[in-house]
Structure 1
Amino acid sequence: MIEIKEELLESVLEGAIHEIDDNAAKLISITRKIDAIEPLHFFVNAKQLAKDRTFWSSTADQFYIVGIGKAHTIRADSNRFQKTEKLWRNLLDEAIIHNPFQTPGTGMLALGGMSFDPGIRKSSLWEKFDHSLFAIPEYMLTVNESGYFLTVNVQADAETNANKLAGIIRRNEEVLIKPRPVLSAGPSIQWQEEVAPRDWMDTVKDATEAIEQNEADKIVLARELRVKLDSTVDIAAVLNNLIKTQSNSFVFAFEQGGDCFVGATPERLAKIEGTNVLSTCLAGTAPRGKTVSEDKRIGENLLYDEKNRSEHEFVVSMIKQAMDQYCTDIEIPDKPVIYPLKNLQHLYTPVTATLKDGYSIFDIIGELHPTPALGGVPRDESLEFIREHEQLDRGWYGAPIGWLDSNGNGEFAVAIRSGLIQGDEASLFAGCGVVRDSDPLAEYEETAIKFTPMLSVLGG
């Protein structure tokens, strides 16, 4: 139940509408505190409103954002980071925002993401996902350490009737906050097909030859696994399974016109709270062991493996270099530690810093993307090889996804361990870093391991 008198919604709307001094529509954002509600129930209830849904969770922090519908969208194809930030700033300047709480993830908020590379011709697989798309939801649930918050974002002009608008909002909110039964168990896989695996291994060989000829130091190559399921996928069930099985990850779903990009990524790109900046280096991968002793042995081998440490240092160096332009007080530990997940373990190094005046999270993610863990080193040369040789439109795979709020907070992750779900079919994606001594079969096997998190929640 909402902890706020219904008439207060009307009074806030009336006050906001009175602020509109011309007949042009403006975005009004109102945040209220509510009683506890299960985020996935809120997500499921939104099906009755027949609107696209967005889900974001930092499972380690018990932080959730669930967005329903689109009150406003921000799109950009070229100069995406600069244009998106400019449009977001313009929107904040024009919007009327009522948020007495000011905690991260509340107030007016944009959720979305970008494609890995707008320089690649978009395939039909990703036709519903723009190269950069951020949505301000019509209704949004935020769960953080301060409680549960419900935000409504609506377009209104000076002639809008506050009472009628409040009535529509209340009816939709009643649908969204209703308790729901237990979530379904999820789908099961009928068959799966790797897309051109032998061609992919040949491309790995081509990449090692290019590196031998000093055309690059590292090239990251991705591949696709196509999956057929026994029924139309219940996205809520997939999210539920990801939350249960993928701790220390960002669980996400972005619906767009019936398609849904969903996954659980452990890789944070950047987080900003006020002027505090956090980025994380997550490069170097190994499977988990079946016993405690085997798991420890595999982790120790990963810590001292020359190829994986080299891969990790590429990322650490690049993040430090990127942050130098926009931050002060940069702090980086001397060596990585093991970051364990359910199916995999990684080398992990956190980077903290203080944001300089005049810069934003878009400056940082624009400089960081793509990291050496997803593109390669040097960036331009590795991207050129990917464009020319990789037989795949990555779409939003490997790209920045996340959120930013009107309080100046935000968080972006790199969209790995993910798939695009279309009805009863899905395309899953995985990649690996190719260096001078890479073996095509070993790299193929590494990507096979990286498919595991998504395959497992789809019933594989």
Structure 2
Amino acid sequence: MIKTTTHYNERLYKALSQIHHIETPQLISVTEQMATANPFRFYQAGKAYQGERVYWTSTDQVFTLVGIGSAYTLEAEEDRFNTIQQAWKALMEEAVIDNPYESSGTGPVALGGFSFDPHDHSRTAWEDFPDSKVSIPMFLLTKTESANYITVNIMVHPEDDIEDIYQFVTQAYQEFLEGGTSIDEMPSIIGKEEIQPLEWKDIVKQAAHDIQSGYMSKVVLARELEVNFDRDVNIVSVLDALQREQQQSYVFAVESGDSCFIGATPERLVKVDNRELHSACLAGTIARGDTVEEDQALGEELLHDNKNLQEHDFVVQMIREAVESCCDQVQIPSEPVIYPLRNLQHLYTPVKAKLRVGYTILEVVEKLHPTPALNGYPRQEALSYIREHEPFDRGWYASPVGWFDYKDNGEFAVAIRSGLVKKNKTVLYSGCGIVEDSMPEAEYEETAIKFLPMLNALGGRT
């Protein structure tokens, strides 16, 4: 059993004792290194805070964040990226932070995301998720390749009793470190239903015609698959399956109210670490082969397919323009390579740059979202087309989901290969890029393949 150390308790008490005669709430953040950590057990141990848990694992699976509870939540409807950035800056200026460690993702960290389109408010399934929401967890586990850390974040109000806070935190801290129970088995699937597949094919046909007529160059259209279970879905079970099966993807879960948005996305939007910026152009898709030879042949086909190369180039040019507006030393290869996943392979072009002083990761997210890979090109025409023709609200699907810390480091991924879980029902989302020569049946089959990562993790098959 891991226990809180006397030294840590002293540091926590000292930080709390610095709060005297405050007139407004103030954040206290204390970080401690620990010997071992099991992210799944930590997440499970926070079950009493269901609706306020967040999970994030990087594509290399050497960096994991697990947040339990919410010390403070930032939301914004208007000018959402800038509003949240300014509120974050003000909060950090007054915060009492005890973090002797250099590792990114320790100390005060905000986790969450944004909706795909803040102007689409037909929110039937997404009522638990506002247009933007990032939270500072009350208890944050940070697991890196070389070390593990626990950060406790507490908002202290003028009327609070410091002794009561100290007793609550140290007791809850110990319960989380002891971990939760073993991972439960997934419930059984009792039904699957594709939502309006024939109507979706008609929309694809119309979109290809509109592109041929010159309205736009590309639009990404998504559809839904509803999966029903015999009992409530256990989020930890799905996370465990996703992390085992999708080892080159970001695995994430964001709870809000009675819902959880969960997925395994291969697509990085942006990462900033000590002002070094990384982004990725990921567009163009084909299946994996059953043999090495078939797999290589499919990869070569993708590398020379005009439709997919055109889709990919839209993404490269847009990301280049966005990154060059706020970065120096921009490096983008001239040709894509193959990025293989378990069920699919994609065209991939990495982006590397140096973020200029004065810019933040949220400003970069705002410049990049939505990319042509999930929206289309030109941006506004494609966005308007999606708003008018897709028969559902995307909510947080295809949106930026991730984290940032008080040192201006962070990472956001594009939330594809994902689903919205609510009790015993999950709605999965899948989309593909439509250009002038797109064929409805081929695009339908592509979206069916893209359902597989989540469907397999939930215990289903095509």
State whether residues 51 and 256 of structure 2, in contact with CA within 8 Å, keep that contact through their aligned partners in structure 1. Answer: no
| C-alpha deviation, 1:218, in angstroms | 0.2
- Give the whole-Å Cα distance in 1 for the aligned partners of 2:29 and 2:179: 25
State whether residues 220 and 374 of structure 2, in contact with CA within 8 Å, keep that contact through their aligned partners in structure 1. Answer: yes
Alignment of 1:353-372 (within 5 A): 353-372=353-372
Q: What amino acid is aligned across from residue 77 of structure 1 in structure 2?
A: E
The more displaced of 27-36 and 174-183 is 174-183
State whether residues 222 and 390 of structure 1, in contact with CA within 8 Å, keep that contact through their aligned partners in structure 2. Answer: yes
Aligned to 1:92: 92
1:234-280 deviations in whole A, cap 9, x for unaligned? 00000000000001110000111121000000000000001100001
- Give the whole-Å Cα distance in 2 for the aligned partners of 1:387 and 1:179: 44
Aligned to 2:139: 139
Aligned length: 460
1:112 aligned to 2:115?
A: no
Q: What amino acid is aligned across from residue 267 of structure 1 in structure 2?
A: E
Cα distance change of structure 1 residues 11 and 457 upon mapping to structure 2, 3 Å threshold:
closer
Q: What amino acid is aligned across from residue 238 of structure 2 in structure 1?
A: V
Alignment of 1:286-325 (within 5 A): 286-325=286-325
| C-alpha deviation, 1:58, in angstroms | 0.9
The more displaced of 10-19 and 295-304 is 10-19
- Give the whole-Å Cα distance in 1 for the aligned partners of 2:245 and 2:27: 38
- Give the whole-Å Cα distance in 1 for the aligned partners of 2:49 and 2:365: 34
- Give the whole-Å Cα distance in 2 for the aligned partners of 1:291 and 1:87: 53
Alignment of 1:235-384 (within 5 A): 235-384=235-384
| C-alpha deviation, 1:51, in angstroms | 5.5
Aligned to 1:22: 22
- Give the whole-Å Cα distance in 2 for the aligned partners of 1:93 and 1:356: 21
1:147-202 deviations in whole A, cap 9, x for unaligned? 11001111224664444322211211121111445312323321111111111111
State whether residues 116 and 395 of structure 1, in contact with CA within 8 Å, keep that contact through their aligned partners in structure 2. Answer: yes
Aligned to 2:42: 42
Cα distance change of structure 1 residues 212 and 11 upon mapping to structure 2, 3 Å threshold:
closer
State whether residues 17 and 156 of structure 1, in contact with CA within 8 Å, keep that contact through their aligned partners in structure 2. Answer: no
% identical aligned pairs: 46
State whether residues 299 and 345 of structure 1, in contact with CA within 8 Å, keep that contact through their aligned partners in structure 2. Answer: yes
Aligned to 2:174: 174
Match of 1:233, SS? coil
Match of 1:214, SS? coil
| C-alpha deviation, 1:230, in angstroms | 2.1
State whether residues 268 and 280 of structure 1, in contact with CA within 8 Å, keep that contact through their aligned partners in structure 2. Answer: yes
| C-alpha deviation, 1:441, in angstroms | 0.9
Q: What amino acid is aligned across from residue 415 of structure 1 in structure 2?
A: A
Match of 2:175, SS? helix
Give the root-mean-square deviation of aligned CA atoms: 1.5
State whether residues 53 and 67 of structure 2, in contact with CA within 8 Å, keep that contact through their aligned partners in structure 1. Answer: yes
Q: What amino acid is aligned across from residue 141 of structure 2 in structure 1?
A: L
- Give the whole-Å Cα distance in 1 for the aligned partners of 2:421 and 2:51: 17
Aligned to 1:73: 73
Match of 2:166, SS? helix
1:440 aligned to 2:430?
A: no
- Give the whole-Å Cα distance in 1 for the aligned partners of 2:36 and 2:178: 11
Match of 1:349, SS? strand
Aligned to 1:201: 201
Match of 1:185, SS? coil
Gaps of 5+ in 1: none
- Give the whole-Å Cα distance in 2 for the aligned partners of 1:78 and 1:122: 17
Cα distance change of structure 1 residues 222 and 105 upon mapping to structure 2, 3 Å threshold:
same
Aligned to 1:430: 430
Match of 2:456, SS? helix
Match of 1:60, SS? coil
State whether residues 251 and 264 of structure 1, in contact with CA within 8 Å, keep that contact through their aligned partners in structure 2. Answer: yes
Aligned to 1:386: 386
Q: What amino acid is aligned across from residue 127 of structure 1 in structure 2?
A: E
Aligned to 2:121: 121
1:13 aligned to 2:13?
A: yes
Cα distance change of structure 1 residues 54 and 15 upon mapping to structure 2, 3 Å threshold:
closer
Cα distance change of structure 1 residues 50 and 414 upon mapping to structure 2, 3 Å threshold:
closer
| C-alpha deviation, 1:69, in angstroms | 0.9
- Give the whole-Å Cα distance in 2 for the aligned partners of 1:33 and 1:138: 16
| C-alpha deviation, 1:281, in angstroms | 0.6
| C-alpha deviation, 1:127, in angstroms | 0.4
The more displaced of 272-281 and 144-153 is 144-153
Match of 2:125, SS? helix
1:8-38 deviations in whole A, cap 9, x for unaligned? 4244433443244523221111111112111
Cα distance change of structure 1 residues 102 and 7 upon mapping to structure 2, 3 Å threshold:
closer
State whether residues 17 and 158 of structure 1, in contact with CA within 8 Å, keep that contact through their aligned partners in structure 2. Answer: no
| C-alpha deviation, 1:205, in angstroms | 1.1
Q: What amino acid is aligned across from residue 385 of structure 1 in structure 2?
A: Y
Cα distance change of structure 1 residues 15 and 435 upon mapping to structure 2, 3 Å threshold:
closer
State whether residues 253 and 260 of structure 1, in contact with CA within 8 Å, keep that contact through their aligned partners in structure 2. Answer: yes
State whether residues 229 and 425 of structure 1, in contact with CA within 8 Å, keep that contact through their aligned partners in structure 2. Answer: yes
- Give the whole-Å Cα distance in 1 for the aligned partners of 2:50 and 2:313: 46
Cα distance change of structure 1 residues 285 and 50 upon mapping to structure 2, 3 Å threshold:
closer
Match of 1:125, SS? coil
| C-alpha deviation, 1:231, in angstroms | 1.5
State whether residues 46 and 176 of structure 2, in contact with CA within 8 Å, keep that contact through their aligned partners in structure 1. Answer: yes
Gaps of 5+ in 2: none
Match of 1:124, SS? coil
Cα distance change of structure 1 residues 84 and 384 upon mapping to structure 2, 3 Å threshold:
same
Q: After TM superposition, which residue ranges in structure 1, 4 or more long, deviate above 6 angstroms?
A: none
Aligned to 1:414: 414
